[in-house]
Amino acid sequence: MIWIIIGFVGQAMFTLRFVIQWIASERAKKSIVPNAFWYFSIAGSLTLLVYAVHRRDPVFIVGQSTGSFIYLRNLYLIKKNRKSANS
């Protein structure tokens, strides 16, 4: 039962990233992707990855592993660009 809860928590975090992006875009009156989108993407993806490993689902494992790398890379680029802008 705990693994079902972990799976649903991961899926909820992953879904919340879209809600956050939608709210931010509505407030700005244009399409934007806030940093919180990437943090929720990472949290959801890593939680779902743990669930996929437990389930021994290679398709799900590869998909979530790839996604996690992309989300981490986006946050790295955001941080790097902030440092450049502040220099």
pLDDT for 7-22, tens place per residue? 889 889 888 988 999 9
Q: Which CATH code for domain 1-85? A: 1.20.1280
**pTM here?**
0.80
Domain extents in the chain? 1-85
| pLDDT digit string, tens, across residues 27-63 | 999 989 999 999 999 999 999 999 999 999 998 899 8
56: alpha, beta or left, given left = phi > 0 and alpha = psi -120 to 50? left
Helix 35-55, helix 58-86: angle, nearest 10: 160
Query: Quick one: pLDDT at residue 54?
Result: 95
Give the span between the Cα atoms of 64 and 58, in whole angstroms.
10
| Cα 24 to Cα 30, 35, 36, 37, 83, distances in angstroms | 9, 10, 10, 10, 23
